[in-house]
Amino acid sequence: MESILVLTHVDEGGSALTKASLEAVTAGKELAARLGASLTIGIVAADRTTAAGALASAGARLLTVSGEAFAQPRYASDAAACEALCRAANAAIVLAPGGSRFVRVAAGVTHRLGGVIDTHITAIGGAEGVEASRWYYRQRVEAVISRDARPWFLLLDAGTHTAFAGEPGAVDVEQVAVELPAMRTTVSGLRTPMKDAQTIRPDANMLLVAGAGWTKKQPDGQTHAAEAGALILGFLHATGASLGSSKSLVDQGGDNQPVLPFLSHMNQIGQTGSTPRHAKGLSTCCHGEEPHVVGWRFIGERRAISLDSNCGWTRGKADVVYVADAFQVMEKVNALLGAAKA
């Protein structure tokens, strides 16, 4: 019988589990139920209390490595923590959220345990055994992987499972001792960009995508870049949406986009950009060509605003297309959002 360990860690606040960790818990519960396997959850945290309490109803054995040394992500301490949890759980299948903290250490921990690892897992299926799915070639080819080697580590892509949300309560947690190696890295603090500069928000419900049309000459023969920037940022402020872009728009000024300075190549969605997962997406001033739209593959509900009634969106690429001027539509939308907030 397989035994399953889910590795989790807390967020920057230091006590609550990250959403991606809670998604991994759901994946672990589903897999354990299907295989009739035992489930253990390992928690890496400075203070384990809140995180463990949130997992009280998960029906799993809880292990933790906690203490001040684990407050900040750092290879030496995180790898030691994960290794200790894996050895204590002695699990055959190890699931972990594929965020920056565990991606950094997962391959090293797997090597220490003599195991194998697969990354970017989007689904785990299989009637008898374990079959892990991932996508290749910019989300165009899906592979289903099964392996005999154990322990088998699977790093899960965020947004592929529902986050576990059980009734919090008091719970028994086993503290796992870790012998830390000599630390050569000291975490002295965090420097994050200004809130306004953080336009890429993978956890947002909605994705707003800006296309090159925002910087093109409009019916009055003029460009209106400043107005475009204000409309886009106004929408982001009001909704907390994430900002994506077409390649044509981010290419306009290299990485220091002079027209809409809050955009960089990191915002690009598509074949040579990213493939985000949001419940809803709104494309504005973008033509909707295939190399761009391929990045929309996992967006739940797609809407687009384009002046061109023959654009790619109207040819089956969107659920709803508004053939309209995005300047006018977004101005009205922002006004309605402002009124709703007041």
Ligand X SMILES: Cc1cc2nc3c(=O)[nH]c(=O)nc-3n(C[C@H](O)[C@H](O)[C@H](O)COP(=O)(O)OP(=O)(O)OC[C@H]3O[C@@H](n4cnc5c(N)ncnc54)[C@H](O)[C@@H]3O)c2cc1C
Which spans of this chain sit near ligand X (rule: CB under 6 A)? 211-213, 216, 218, 246-249, 268-273, 285-287, 289, 291-292, 295, 305-308, 311, 325-327
Antiparallel, parallel or unpaired: β 123-125 and 3-9? unpaired
Compute the least distance from the CB of residue 98 to ligand X, in Å. Answer: 21
Please enumerate in sequence order all residues whose Cβ is within 8 A of that of 240, keeping only pairs 6 or more positions apart, or say none. 201, 204, 205
Kindly state the DSSP code that residue 190 receives in the 8-state scheme: -
Compute the least distance from the CB of residue 304 to ligand X, in Å. Answer: 9
Q: How many CA atoms lie within 13 A of 256 on its CB side?
A: 0
**Which residue has tokens 């002046």?**
307
* Closer Cβ to ligand X, 159 or 211, answer by number: 211
User: What residues does 131 pair with on adjacent strands?
Assistant: 125
User: What residues does 124 pair with on adjacent strands?
Assistant: 132
* Closer Cβ to ligand X, 18 or 284, answer by number: 284
Compute the least distance from the CB of residue 18 to ligand X, in Å. Answer: 28
* Torsion angles phi and psi, residue 230, rounded to 5: -65, -40
Compute the least distance from the CB of residue 281 to ligand X, in Å. Answer: 13
Compute the least distance from the CB of residue 214 to ligand X, in Å. Answer: 7
* Closer Cβ to ligand X, 98 or 270, answer by number: 270
Compute the least distance from the CB of residue 294 to ligand X, in Å. Answer: 8
Q: Are 52 and 60 in contact (CB under 8 A)?
A: no
Q: 10 Å Cβ neighbour count for 117?
A: 20
* Angle at the Cα of 305 from the Cα atoms of 307 and 238, rounded to 5 degrees: 135
Smallest CA-to-CA distance from 281 within 334, 213, 206, 211 is with 206
